[in-house]
Amino acid sequence: MSEQKIGPWAVHSARSVFANPWIEVIDHRVSHPDGTPGEYGVVRFKNVAVGVLPIDDEGNVPLVGQHRFPLDRYSWELPEGGGPMTAPLLASAKRELREETGMTAGSWAELIAFDISNSVTDERAACFLAWDLLPGEAAPESSEALTIRKVRFHDLLEMVINGEITDSLTIVMALAAHARALRGALPDPISRLILAA
């Protein structure tokens, strides 16, 4: 490849060192912004991360529990997963909610989008708030062993603040929803449920 510029970095070469259906790792030979030679590895994701904060008419949210292989520990999270880059983000969020909890939602709103770990990956997250929930039967992938529990939104927020929940999408969704409710940037009935003690 001919030399390219990525912001203040000069990229002299790039090669794929690993790929599977979900990620690709690219090794770049670069000149750092100060001109020194170096190497920059980037994990490129093949899906967009999607998350859903579903809240029912009583202010409850479902948490999904599962053992996370990379960290070797159990994690409680809001419904989340990945969606194809070419698929509408909301469609992917609806699918994840239905697969993991069985729920469908009559009302949806964009909550927040963010970069998950922008020093080494290009992974993006798109998160939604869902309400007017209807129950259904969950249909997780056969490789997943999930547990579902309901908690009040206030309890979810406490779990985030006290470090019991460490999943980034769940933390960001809970804090963003709470901040938006405080600002009056959500429908009044939803804000009241989120802000109820």
67 and 25, same structural domain? no
Q: Which helix (H) or strand (E) holds 17?
A: strand 9-19
Q: Which residues contact 84 (CB under 8 A, 6 or more apart)?
A: 47, 48, 92
Give the residue numbers annotated as catalytic, written as ranges.
144
89 and 170, same structural domain? yes
103 and 17, same structural domain? no
51 and 41, same structural domain? no
Whether the model clears a pTM of 0.85, i.e. scores above it, the answer is yes
Residue type, 88: P
| Strand, coil or helix: 23 | strand
The predicted pLDDT at position 125 comes to: 97
Strand-pairing partners, residue 113, are: 126
DSSP character string of 131-168: EEEE-------TT---EEEEEEHHHHHHHHHTTS---H
187 and 125, same structural domain? yes
41 and 53, same structural domain? no
124 and 99, same structural domain? yes
158 and 85, same structural domain? yes
The predicted pLDDT at position 143 comes to: 72
- Cα 155 to Cα 118, 133, 159, 197: the distances in Å are 30, 19, 6, 9
Domains identified in the chain, total number = 2
174 and 85, same structural domain? yes
81 and 40, same structural domain? no
Per-residue pLDDT of the chain (197 residues; tens, 9 = 90+): 678 888 999 999 999 999 999 999 999 999 999 999 999 999 999 999 999 999 999 999 999 999 998 889 999 999 999 999 999 999 999 999 999 999 999 999 999 999 999 999 999 999 999 999 999 888 767 677 888 999 999 999 999 999 999 999 999 999 999 999 999 999 999 999 999 96
CATH number for the domain including 81? 3.90.79.10
52 and 31, same structural domain? no
Around 146, how many Cα atoms within 13 Å sit in the side-chain half-sphere?
A: 24
Structural domain span for residue 78: 47-195
The predicted pLDDT at position 2 comes to: 75
Report residue 86 CA to chain centroid gap.
17
109 and 99, same structural domain? yes
